A and B are shown apart, each in its own frame.
Chain A
């Protein structure tokens, strides 16, 4: 069994099975499934080269885009809804699905290889691999245009490279040693490049490296401090610096490909947007001059600053009293009541650049239709007692002159920067009271026609108090606006430093990731995951009663949970016993249990527990990396249970290594039978649940009911 040919044959068979299981009926369904809505669309954007925004780093989506490009997808399909047909729109979706499926299949031989390299017998390695191979959850996830296949593959690759690197510990600083370390670093960067969850893989490997360095530092190893420092810097280079640059390169490619304006523009800063071709800012951004009549819009809610002759009611429902001034509201549609003229508060030269409005200029805003100035004062706004009311004041009454002064505060501007339409995001700060003009989604009552409230926010730096000038309606002369800057041709695309673009995007990704808190019917808490309490409905087809329901293989997952708890039990018992001066586990076996299985356990813990701290919406498929780690733990624990012997040595001995005698793991016939029976059960369960995994064949009510193994699974088409 342990002959190299047998080992390779086993690995090969597992791999072939993995391909078979994952590629089976991959064309089914020929409709958009679950998050293909997002990731298919993103792939299309790469092909169209249109800028988009997403919370995940770009690597996996780049690869999907490449796969789409390779099979001839032209990007002309918008993946709008789950259930949209691919065949009707001539989308070569099979090629795009095959790519993640291939990565997902390659994961299986890798799992097998990790176990083999860690010194577990072939049987045990095959046991671990089949836990992933015949898992409905993994299969469902990797057969679709999703990111998780790539994520799990690179995560497994990181673990594998690290194990190979660790085995070369007696050959430090040799070429192979360096090669495997850098391979670890690159794989880690790729994991992180797929999803931010890759940080957890970094933490896993990082912990292992720190423990390793800590042992090297021990004086009894006899290494000089210089030598330890050399180890330290080598790892810093291979596992921090190299990954960082690899990670950057993904973004570099991302920006290189996405050069056109697209759906993601509005997330980015004006400076960023001006680097995109056909961007509206690039096309229409113009300098604003005094006495121009303009319309202004709120950046987030896109309402226009609006006023109309109706007045605030004297008394609101809650008893507070208003100024009874003219209403100032936010209105979503075009209207002449949105027109405001910019009136200077300083003397202007008759012509020339002196008439351009600049950052920190103090201006008055004249409402054209009612001939009154915008004003705010220390009166509570209709809806929020904490904020100031906005109203207007007649032009010919100068008693309230001071209250009509506003400062144009352009965001991230230098002194004297001209104010531009579209790109000049600004805050309008009231000079005497320092409040910022602000609006929020709450609508005013009927007396203001349910328009949006505008009020003064006392936090002058409020991020959401951002406005921009939409359009210049006309200037004082009434001349053609297009000609006044002298150029009518589209302006050239601007350049922006790559690092500025990178940091801006990275920050936005983190912010939006944390902001994904909306509830989702199939979101579930981390505590439910290992036990498969609930799955996710990916896709349904009413006529044929077919559905895809993402759920793991119950036999496999519960075995993994058991293995994890047994591991914790063994470790605790070991600690307790040793505390009482009893040493129950033979030393070599214990080393294997702590160091090798311990690494897998750490990988599981790192890929699982941090989710408890995340407040964003979470799904069962976030557990897949942790599940893979738990399959490795299961192998380790199974080995510990069935055998008291291990393969030794595992690490490649160096020239000066003193070896203890070589040993071989002995597995009895019973282990073979046990694994055989187990894998047969596993496959049986896999096949039983497979209609939910492959989305075919359709099931009638009774069949669905029978497959609803836990009452908490919300399957469709259930019988009464």
Chain B
């Protein structure tokens, strides 16, 4: 106890400010400090700014006259330049060695090619990354004609090396951005070097950057976002200055880019969001700040961190739509009107008015809706009749015929034309199987409260449950229901009411299990909600030889509608990527395995003659990162306990800074890791790569805090620790260089790589 009281300093001074603390009970020490000295321009802030950022104005130096002087004056630029060069080495060295399509190049190479051919395609990821792949292809003279089949050898006309190099530049860019981020976080020189070395020599980051994939861009933009955030943090003492605005906007643009590459970018966005909320909360407590200024702070952030990213995101889609103006494999994901605008699409030439005997496809008009579909497979549950689904690709199984009721005369192909009108009661016959669209009071497989919809019977067998009432909602061209006499293809919005049950045909993005091929469930909803767009359908393709072809005219489809439609479709497909319990995916791994690096991933075939790449982190980087995260929590706990007992371990302001860096690292890691635990979709080891950056920051931070900035350790010890860590990271990379640069010859010849039994290297 004696020791306790002697080491307790500053007690009285903090007491003064914390009279009100009693009632709170669990208020953190951080809050107390804020109350004491109202943050802002105080000296404490300046002290922990990195070198060169402290707002003691540097006197302008005379221009350098000799080379030595030049180097001396620009000394701070030397390390990043060297690291960039080294990064170019780890990312570009022998980049073209494997002349086959490696791993997901099969997808992204193909998507890139679509931009060159300007054919519309569909994918679950936003377009920016793939447009950059397309750009890389354009710059290197690729014509988009290669199929990118997995494992296939690249033909001569595909400049895959150049494409890989261009995309790998993003991977190389991670290293200098990492270095500058460390500087901005106020790390000591040694810690900065270690962080840069870890980014440079992590095998997983290097490997994934070397192929035609989106990950190098995702990582690069994640890095720039964090960099923007740290840079902005250091401008906080001079709010609304040019630099302040610049870095705030930089962060916003960066966020826009990262979410336009993959939606995983939302996690880093959440980090920026939390930082901003805390920042605004702090400013809310600054009583001397005028309300106007405070509101301006809000407005600035809303503008730069919300509006700007959304604009960037939407711009990437706008460009996407502008480039892809030809019909292609992804058409059916979009609304019929959008498709009608694509070149090579013949919707506009469909007969305009639908008649009995017409063959047509029906498009659901809900966001992300697909085409009404049926196929010769039965429901395993319910009625066990033939499945009816919503399908997002064009296929003969989407075709239905408009037929009269059983109690009417059979359709006569030579009789009078009879056009389809509002209120008609019809049968819809599936063209390929001849069965009738049918519903009955049996619970649908997923939305159990709705009726099941199936295909049943044939041309002679059927019953009253096959009848559907056509209800016109309105027409996008003709206007309200009153103007619609005949049903028009593409523009008339219809609903189908089941005549016997009174329920409405609906497809609302519920995904069927594997037995339904993960297609969208179609059911019959008992509630009549006239506003439910998921019960709206329109005629998309329409064939009828007896009717005149429609005139070619452009139907307009507004951008915002297409944008939103595509995003919902992406979301729906993303949700369909749930793991299939019946199917073992050898490549997949669970998030629990990542921090301990218990799995790697074979990126290509493992034959003796093939060049083999293995996606595996640098074990030292990964393990030290995980260890630091755990250690940081323990350290925080101990510091808080000590504060509660009024030991003073920090200089004024130091605690705030240590907490700030720790929060960026830990919260950043947490936000990039936890969602994968919760979400049900298939996960792979490369999903951990963005989170890894934050664990690396934490490693740097803890080494910096406990070793490099320690006042107790000698310079000698610091050097020893530094050199040891640096060499260990470099050595491990060199040991594992094969998995990054490509292993030639039989894998058995490369010994000593199996550090953990669970890696499937051999």
Contact = CB atoms under 8 A, between A and B. Distances in A.
Interface of A: 211, 214-215, 217-219, 224-225, 384, 386, 440-442, 457-459, 462, 519-521, 576, 578-581, 583, 587, 590-591, 594-595, 613, 615, 711, 714
A441 B284 CA distance: 61
13 contacts: A211-B25, A217-B644, A219-B8, A219-B645, A441-B582, A442-B582, A458-B584, A519-B446, A579-B284, A580-B287, A590-B23, A591-B23, A594-B24
B646 A595 contact: no
B303 interface: no
B23 A587 contact: yes
Given A211-B25, A459-B584, A590-B23, A224 B1 contact: yes
Contacts of A579: 281, 284-285
B644 A214 contact: yes
A214 B26 contact: yes
Nearest to A534: B449
Contacts of B24: 594
B447 to A, nearest CB: 9
B678 interface: yes
A contacts with B: majority SS: mixed
A211 B26 contact: yes
Contacts of B641: 217
B586 interface: yes
Contacts of A215: 25-26
A581 B680 CA distance: 46
Nearest to A590: B23
Given A211-B25, A579-B281, A615-B680, 15 more contacts: A215-B25, A215-B26, A224-B1, A225-B645, A386-B583, A441-B582, A459-B584, A459-B586, A520-B448, A521-B448, A521-B449, A578-B20, A587-B23, A590-B23, A594-B25
Nearest to B585: A386
A143 B609 CA distance: 72
A224 B448 CA distance: 62
Contacts of B1: 224-225
Contacts of A440: 582
B284 A576 contact: yes
A714 B449 contact: yes
B377 to A, nearest CB: 12
A211 B285 CA distance: 25
A322 B641 CA distance: 68
A273 to B, nearest CB: 26
B586 A458 contact: yes
Contacts of A591: 23
A384 B584 CA distance: 10
A386 B584 contact: yes
B527 interface: yes
B443 interface: yes
A587 B23 CA distance: 8
Contact of B586 (A218, A386, A520): A386
Contacts of A442: 582
Interface of B: 1, 8, 20, 23-26, 281, 284-285, 287, 443, 446, 448-449, 527, 582-584, 586, 641, 644-646, 678, 680
A211 B583 CA distance: 47
A23 B449 CA distance: 33
A591 B23 CA distance: 6
Which DSSP category, helix, strand, loop or mixed, fits chain B's interface? loop
A419 B83 CA distance: 62
A594 B24 CA distance: 8
Nearest to A711: B527
A442 B377 CA distance: 14
A214 B25 CA distance: 8
Nearest to A521: B448
A600 B153 CA distance: 66
Contacts of A384: 583
Contacts of B586: 386, 458-459
A587 B20 CA distance: 10
A580 B23 contact: no
A384 B281 CA distance: 56
B678 A613 contact: yes
A63 to B, nearest CB: 33
Contacts of A580: 284-285, 287
A336 B482 CA distance: 73
A613 B677 CA distance: 10
B584 A595 contact: no
Nearest to A615: B680
A714 B525 CA distance: 13
A595 B678 contact: no
Nearest to B680: A615
Nearest to B287: A581
A442 B380 CA distance: 11
Choose among A219, A462, A591 the residue with the greatest number of B CB atoms under 10 Å from its CB. Answer: A219
Contacts of B527: 711
B631 to A, nearest CB: 22
Nearest to A575: B281
A587 B25 CA distance: 13
B106 to A, nearest CB: 16
A211 B24 CA distance: 10
A55 to B, nearest CB: 19
Contacts of B680: 615
Contacts of A578: 20
Nearest to B529: A711
Nearest to A714: B449
Contacts of A595: 25
Nearest to A442: B582
Contact of B645 (A217, A590, A714): A217
Contacts of A711: 527
Contacts of B583: 384, 386
A464 to B, nearest CB: 10
Nearest to A219: B646
Nearest to B582: A440
Contacts of B446: 519
A581 B287 CA distance: 7
Nearest to B18: A220
B528 to A, nearest CB: 11
A319 B8 CA distance: 80
B443 A521 contact: yes
Nearest to A582: B287
A520 B641 CA distance: 48
A164 B26 CA distance: 22
A595 B583 CA distance: 51
Contacts of B443: 521
A387 B260 CA distance: 38
B551 to A, nearest CB: 43
A386 B582 CA distance: 12
A225 B527 CA distance: 65
A591 B20 CA distance: 12
A697 B657 CA distance: 69
Nearest to B1: A224
A219 B23 contact: no
Contacts of A613: 678
A442 B281 CA distance: 57
B94 to A, nearest CB: 31
B284 A218 contact: no
